[in-house]
Chain A
């Protein structure tokens, strides 16, 4: 129990630090949003007035305080270019991004686990070499490059899937999956490669352990040994790594969502950065960092639940 309390306290402290770093970084961004709002009709007097009314002239500490209090009380302010309340805007985009993050995770795990097991079982044979080489290519290919190739193949030449846009699952579930498929695949490739390597090495170390030899000696069928006994023990670390990759995915969605015009968190963050929408940048960056950190926390906690050998310390 004290572990949990300590852990939560440390999360709260880290969140505060995250907010501070986010705020500092966004406040030294060049260009300002008053300019973006006024565009080509900007002139110094009008800009000065607008800056004043947006509170951009207040001391930084005041602006930071205002922001933090807003974050805590649920008033996240308004996006300066989207002209919408930031809270609901982000909530909306998180749903979109969750769709491709979950789908890419599903794609990656369904491919990576069998491939990794297959490679581990046939260690150093052609099967292993094939799987390992494929995985190596996977981690070596830039995801946006892979995304471009997918657009060309599936949208342009085959015409099977849409190349851009987001459809809300509540409106049209099949349409949502179709639109999310290519970006998920582009995201999932690198992840799959990574998880294949992870599954392979974990399986190898599990297969070398005594209880596997014992199971074999007891006359269990090889399939049972591998898929029941060994994989059950190897899946924990693989899932942990998968959970930790959420951070990597949230980095990649910036490029991938922009490429596919998929209006999720990554797209929103990139729009905010491009347009110097400082309140929005602050909130999106903060939310992404917080999501990454909370996922790591959940993975940690789940791990201790699943694997009682890990002491809560």
Chain B
């Protein structure tokens, strides 16, 4: 545990805590309507006492939108990564543990999917399903699954070849027991690291999809949607892009730093 307490670890961890706390508590402290409340007399206003981070083109307070947008962005990214884990974990474990033709077939499929850039895949899926919150999650979740499946399979393969696993196998332990007792616990650390990094990419992907109009729908606040709305007003009201842009950058930064530290701690082989 002490190994987290490096300067970097504390920095990354606190950013992350801050973002998660915002996502969790902002909706409890700030009424939802504050993010959609319009003030036609203060449109595209710069930072003022009433609006510390300025307002957007409809006079909505950017601070509230950013705070409440945290929940949307984190929720979409988190659920999407969770979804790709739920699909990718069994795929990867089965493939790596059993090997043979199952592995061949599954990994052929995964490799094929990996040839499609994740954003292209997410974009196409989103276009197929139609734009709304659930579909955005599904699109990002599916697009990320092959990456996680590939990594999990590699780890499962490595662990399956460990002497103690071989030993357990020769004792006739059932497959289910083998996977639950020996494989899963041992592949968890690298998966957690990978999931953290995927989370960072998922936040960027949500922003990218919303930016192209295929993600979160207005008037809900999400960071990507805020950046999209700011496009037309960039040169006269740059803060409309800077506020959500900074929120995305800081969150992803926190996740990346935390992911680095996690890797150093949990997965010393790579460091």
A→B interface (CB under 8 Å): 10, 13-14, 17-18, 21, 25-26, 28-30, 136-137, 139-142, 144-145, 148, 151-152, 156, 247-248, 250-252, 254-255, 258, 269-270, 273, 281, 285, 288-290, 292-293, 296
Contact = CB atoms under 8 A, between A and B. Distances in A.
A56 to B, nearest CB: 17
Contacts of A10: 108
A273 B227 contact: no
B207 A251 contact: no
Given A140-B253, A145-B227, A156-B235, A17 B108 contact: yes
B130 A142 contact: no
B234 interface: yes
B207 A142 contact: yes
15 contacts: A13-B108, A17-B109, A21-B112, A29-B124, A136-B253, A140-B252, A145-B227, A145-B245, A156-B235, A247-B114, A247-B117, A255-B208, A269-B120, A289-B116, A292-B116
Instruction: Give the interface SS of chain B, mostly helix, strand, loop or mixed.
Output: helix
Which 10 A-B residue pairs are closest in the complex by CB-CB distance? A251-B117, A251-B119, A140-B252, A140-B253, A289-B115, A17-B112, A293-B115, A145-B245, A292-B115, A140-B249
A255 B212 contact: yes
A25 B128 contact: yes
Contact of A273 (B109, B123, B235, B256): B123
Interface in B34-49: none
Nearest to A139: B256
Interface string B243-271: 00100111011001100000000000000
B111 interface: yes
Nearest to B111: A14
A295 to B, nearest CB: 10
Interface residues of B, number: 38
Nearest to A21: B112
Interface string B89-110: 0000000000000000000110
Contacts of A148: 227, 231, 234, 241
A266 to B, nearest CB: 9
A129 to B, nearest CB: 9
B211 A144 contact: yes
A290 B253 contact: no
Contacts of B248: 140-142, 145
Nearest to B223: A142
Contact of B112 (A18, A25, A247, A281): A18
Contacts, number: 115
Contacts of A281: 124
Given A21-B112, A255-B212, A273 B117 contact: no
Contact of A255 (B113, B118, B119): B119
Contacts of B116: 18, 21, 285, 288-289, 292
B62 to A, nearest CB: 15
A96 B234 CA distance: 27
Nearest to B245: A145
A141 B241 CA distance: 12
A258 B227 contact: no
Contact of A21 (B113, B123, B204): B113
B52 interface: no
B238 interface: yes
Given A139-B252, A145-B227, A156-B235, A292 B117 contact: yes
B123 A30 contact: no
Contacts of B160: none
B125 interface: yes
A289 B125 CA distance: 15
A142 B120 contact: no
Given A255-B211, A292-B115, A293-B115, A28 B128 contact: yes
B23 interface: no
Contact of B120 (A30, A156, A251): A251
B127 interface: yes
B89 to A, nearest CB: 22
B183 interface: no
B256 A288 contact: no
A120 to B, nearest CB: 13
Contacts of B253: 136-137, 140
A290 B116 CA distance: 9
B124 A25 contact: yes
Nearest to B200: A140
Interface in B206-243: 207-208, 211-212, 227, 231, 234-235, 238, 241
Given A21-B112, A136-B253, A29 B128 contact: yes
Contacts of B257: 136
A296 B150 CA distance: 16
A30 B212 contact: no
Contacts of B125: 25
A255 B127 CA distance: 15
A251 to B, nearest CB: 3
B249 A30 contact: no
